[in-house]
Amino acid sequence: MMIDTHCHLDSQAYDGDLDSVISEAFSAGVRQIIIPGAFGGDLPRARDIAHRYESIYFAAGIHPCELESFDRDLLLEFARDEKCVAIGECGLDYFRLPDSEVEAYKARQKELFVTQIELALELDKPLIVHIREASNDAFEILKNYPNLRGVLHCFNADRILLGLENFYYGIGGVCTFKNARRLIEVLPSVPLDRLLLETDAPYLTPHPHRGERNEPKYIPLIAEKIAEILHRTPTEIHTISTQNAYKLFSQVPPIYAACASMEAEAEQAL
């Protein structure tokens, strides 16, 4: 039993075969999927998919590269939905900065990041955080909120982020890449009780399927690679990561109910 904690099922990449994608994921052992919010215009589709499938949930947020779609009132509307388990993905992304007014753009990203942090605290929901080439600034912001909990999506292996004690670490297909040396070196330092599985599908397809569309059915490949790196069995990674997901996203009743049944197995694996 596994949970894909970050999968963009609302992407147009799945317009023609969404039912099959979900069915194949279920057959592969993926029992629940969380769709992260990234763009205001996509939130209605993410919510609709979550309500159509019992085992799918969504998060409400605005990606740092989608600043123009930010609307707090709209975000709040979706965040209050019964199947919304988190705020995000939000954060800082300095990879593609504009040619001019760079500092103003960074300041705007920080402003909207803080707004979504405060919304997560207001609603008592975890935060899904996106950080790209902005680890120091993100750490300086997040450390100011000791009561905030969340996940660092697609953990970038920057050691400074290991100092965020209330945060979990999302590990996806990047760990299977040939050039993932830094992540492989840092992964043993990630607390096992704060490790989560994710695909970020349809992006970051794991080996040996690179170049193809990513799908949640590939979660087992990621778990197998993590198990290899950590000298664990895939079953241990399945059990521990699922229990971790239930702990973090515990506000929704179906997920919370499942948490109790996994706790003993996870503790034994740890």
Q: Which residue in this structure is represented by tokens 């970050």?
A: 6
DSSP 162: G
Predicted pLDDT at 270: 56
Domains of the chain with CATH codes: 2-269 (3.20.20.140)
Which is nearest to 170 in space by CA: 65, 34, 40, 54? 34
Determine the Cα–Cα distance for residues 17 and 28; give it in Å rounded to an integer. 17
SS3 183: helix
DSSP 196: E
Q: What is the mean pLDDT of each run of 10 residues along the chain (270 residues)?
A: 96 97 97 95 96 96 93 96 97 92 96 98 98 98 97 97 97 97 97 98 98 98 98 97 94 49 46
Determine the Cα–Cα distance for residues 108 and 94; give it in Å rounded to an integer. 12
ω into 236 cis (within 30 of 0): no
Quote the Cα angle for 259-261-267, to 5°: 85
- Report whether 152 contacts 198 (CB < 8 A): no
Handedness of CA 178, 181, 182, 183 (dihedral sign): positive
Tell me the pLDDT tens digit for each residue of 196-251.
999 999 999 999 999 999 999 999 999 999 999 999 999 999 999 999 999 999 86
DSSP tally for the chain: helices H, then strands E: 9, 8
Predicted pLDDT at 230: 98
Predicted pLDDT at 265: 41
The alpha carbon of 47 is separated from its chain's Cα centroid by a whole number of angstroms, namely 16
pTM over 0.85: yes
Q: How many C-beta neighbours within 10 Å does residue 14 have?
A: 20
Which is nearest to 161 in space by CA: 196, 181, 131, 120? 131
Residues contacting 98, CB < 8 A, separation 6+: 105
Handedness of CA 203, 68, 91, 3 (dihedral sign): negative
